[in-house]
Structure 1
């Protein structure tokens, strides 16, 4: 099939380069590598989160265009099929380590056996790795096959002495060196935001000439506004959707809630613990200490459909994370016509239009967040204006657009390799 994307995706020090035109005569075959997490597992628990959503939907959108996409992940469930096809995407689960979930940081030990499984597969046109574990396994295989290797990080490790409250610590000993190696040796790096691209260039040494920015998308068939208003008289709902771990700032949301006057809104928290119960226990203890136990609902992991229902029934979606590479939840809220209150960090500055689709807050003071919540909750007119602007913002970000941006990067690399 022929496809000619006309996109503004290539990111460099002088800004975006317009008018790049790439052509391809036949479909592209892509190995999408995700070592530590299965993109076709339910989001919201363990290490399943936004990256899984991006990989799954982008892969499905590329497959719908007629391209041959195979997602390769570690087998972490003995009951899951080794090979299956889901919405046109071939999913292959290979044996590397035990056939059950293990903490994310332990996956560094699975890089070598996972690489051996990749070496047994048939070569493809492009290898695209997601997260540094995947890249360290797949980069040598792609080079051995003589095909381009594309790296996406989805998060980049903070420097070793960075406090947890300021960002994400390296999750395993080799992460900082591994990310820098991949940023410099991969044929392209695809970031989900300008913020992540800047970090990859300045912290990891990625060449700006090989950096692409492809924003995530949203499915308007799943995330959309309410067809009819909720019955009057109920308490407003503030939704926070995230894995339960310190980085996501659920404690800040509870502290802000406690500063609001009675009757308070209900804070609904959708998501499961990354591992263990220590952080969840601390959140419950904090709610009890602040006297808001009856106002906080820890709902656990949710399906995409149930999350979408919770989102469109909410008055506000809250994103109090210490850092976000993009902030997919904010885009899903926009498609649902719900204002977002978020921190002015990372890619959230791109996912939220401050004062238009939501509010971006400059600090982590509970008083600041409580005042922002009250401002939106107390003004029906403000919520209506933000709702309308949010829907228009989200309409520009479909998964087919994301797939087109990804395909532009693939086509550019293939054209370059064929003319070298």
Structure 2
């Protein structure tokens, strides 16, 4: 049987985006944060973790250490340059070949469908389990945008369904995502596990009493996201513009446009001009994590107006910072924000509804303080060590469950490789 004490060699595959990149830049977002922090947590538990991503710049080394026990590898697949997200599909096979050149790991965990399509055949070749996380799941173009992301490349919807059927375990970041995996993609309930994310509550922490604007100051509200239509930034701009001028805060948007949305910043500026928010809109670009934490800390509110989120890590980071969050009632945001306790979850996407909700908190200091205190307490219950330990439980379960089946189906070469994960 599998030894529960055995140190594992774990591969985390992130083909299209590097967990070493600051969130908000290019295609780096919540997935990058989750992978990096879970990797560090797994390493702290005594395991050897390799993160494998595509080389996107010529000056990237073959590998680098992100943290003790965590190595980031850059694999050559396609040009050594940043690419629009949808173009990564054509480099799946080349990335897969580069991955296959590594010594077999004990378990492979793929993040996003590009990674899964590259890693699943390699895991089968090695005779080891394949675990899949999606982080976002495509919706057909005929459905409303709020139902999910668009399939930015041709094979995505078919690929996601294949991975849901054939992977040994499916890890969702929220109950909402788990329901989409089983309902839309056909993933088996018994192979689907929810592993909640965590938050660094030391880095994302409340301001000192003098560090944040008081109730009498206009201050600013914050959106932190990649600049793309899915994130609903147009709603944030229209909503803040609809707040009466005497109490209207500045809107700060932290994040950068990905390669396939280069014109979106101009669209946001044009919208701000039309609705009269030009002087109170600050587009500050992608920020390093410590700088971003400072922006959270100083905000009066955090807004998450996304059309679709599997969880909404930004909402949890806002909560850890002691800042009330107003979020769209979309996917996992219903779980990340406790409606009426740590913030508000709004069913409507009407700007005036959002404007009234924002103004209602900004003008009620006692309510804002109650939400702030509850938000911080909620975040403190979720940390990355707990998240990593939950993920390790999934790995151990799939390794133990699949041992007998795999041993009977592998050839002698596969058996020798498989013994590395068996005591």
What range is the shorter-chain TM-score in? over 0.9
Q: 1:132 to 1:266 in 2, by over 3 A?
A: same
Q: In structure 2, how many angstroms separate the alpha carbons of the residues matched to 1:235 and 1:59?
A: 40
Q: What does 1:1-40 align with in structure 2 at a 5 Å threshold? A: 24-40=4-20
Q: Is the contact made by 2:305 and 2:327 (CA closer than 8 Å) also made in structure 1?
A: yes
Runs of 5+ in structure 2 lacking a partner?
406-423
Q: What does 1:225-264 align with in structure 2 at a 5 Å threshold? A: 225-230=206-211, 234-263=217-246, 264=248
Q: What is the Cα deviation at residue 274 of structure 1?
A: 1.5
Could you list the per-position Cα deviations for residues 247-306 of structure 1 after superposition, in whole angstroms to 9, with x for gaps in the alignment?
111111111111111131010000001235321111111111111111111111111111
Q: In structure 1, how many angstroms separate the alpha carbons of the residues matched to 2:125 and 2:404?
A: 19
Q: In structure 2, how many angstroms separate the alpha carbons of the residues matched to 1:285 and 1:159?
A: 29
Q: What is aligned with 1:268?
A: 252
Q: In structure 2, how many angstroms separate the alpha carbons of the residues matched to 1:113 and 1:419?
A: 32
SS of the residue 2:399 aligns to = helix
Match for 2:183 among 195, 199, 202?
Answer: 202
1:97 maps to 2:78:
yes
Q: In structure 2, how many angstroms separate the alpha carbons of the residues matched to 1:376 and 1:419?
A: 57
| Structure 1 segments of 4+ aligned residues over 6 angstroms from their partners | none
Match for 2:362 among 366, 377, 380?
Answer: 377
Superposed CA RMSD: 1.3
Q: What is aligned with 1:135?
A: 116
Q: What is aligned with 1:338?
A: 323
Q: What is the Cα deviation at residue 188 of structure 1?
A: 0.2
Q: What is aligned with 1:155?
A: 136
Match for 1:43 among 16, 23, 26?
Answer: 23
Q: Is the contact made by 2:146 and 2:330 (CA closer than 8 Å) also made in structure 1?
A: no
Q: Is the contact made by 2:146 and 2:308 (CA closer than 8 Å) also made in structure 1?
A: no
Q: In structure 2, how many angstroms separate the alpha carbons of the residues matched to 1:34 and 1:357?
A: 32
Q: What does 1:78-97 align with in structure 2 at a 5 Å threshold? A: 78-88=58-68, 89-97=70-78
Q: In structure 1, how many angstroms separate the alpha carbons of the residues matched to 2:252 and 2:88?
A: 32
Q: What is the Cα deviation at residue 165 of structure 1?
A: 6.0
Match for 1:62 among 42, 61, 66?
Answer: 42
Q: In structure 1, how many angstroms separate the alpha carbons of the residues matched to 2:294 and 2:39?
A: 24
Match for 1:298 among 264, 283, 295?
Answer: 283
Could you list the per-position Cα deviations for residues 355-378 of structure 1 after superposition, in whole angstroms to 9, with x for gaps in the alignment?
000000011001110010011101
Q: Is the contact made by 1:197 and 1:213 (CA closer than 8 Å) also made in structure 2?
A: yes
Q: What is the Cα deviation at residue 392 of structure 1?
A: 1.0
Q: In structure 2, how many angstroms separate the alpha carbons of the residues matched to 1:355 and 1:349?
A: 11
Q: What is aligned with 1:72?
A: 52
Q: In structure 1, how many angstroms separate the alpha carbons of the residues matched to 2:274 and 2:262?
A: 18
SS of the residue 1:418 aligns to = helix
SS of the residue 2:338 aligns to = coil
Q: Is the contact made by 2:137 and 2:148 (CA closer than 8 Å) also made in structure 1?
A: no
Q: In structure 2, how many angstroms separate the alpha carbons of the residues matched to 1:400 and 1:164?
A: 34
Match for 1:220 among 185, 194, 201?
Answer: 201
SS of the residue 1:300 aligns to = coil
Q: In structure 1, how many angstroms separate the alpha carbons of the residues matched to 2:3 and 2:326?
A: 41
SS of the residue 2:149 aligns to = coil
Q: 1:166 to 1:190 in 2, by over 3 A?
A: closer
TM-score between the two structures when normalised by the length of structure 2: 0.92
Q: Is the contact made by 1:163 and 1:169 (CA closer than 8 Å) also made in structure 2?
A: no
Q: In structure 2, how many angstroms separate the alpha carbons of the residues matched to 1:62 and 1:227?
A: 33
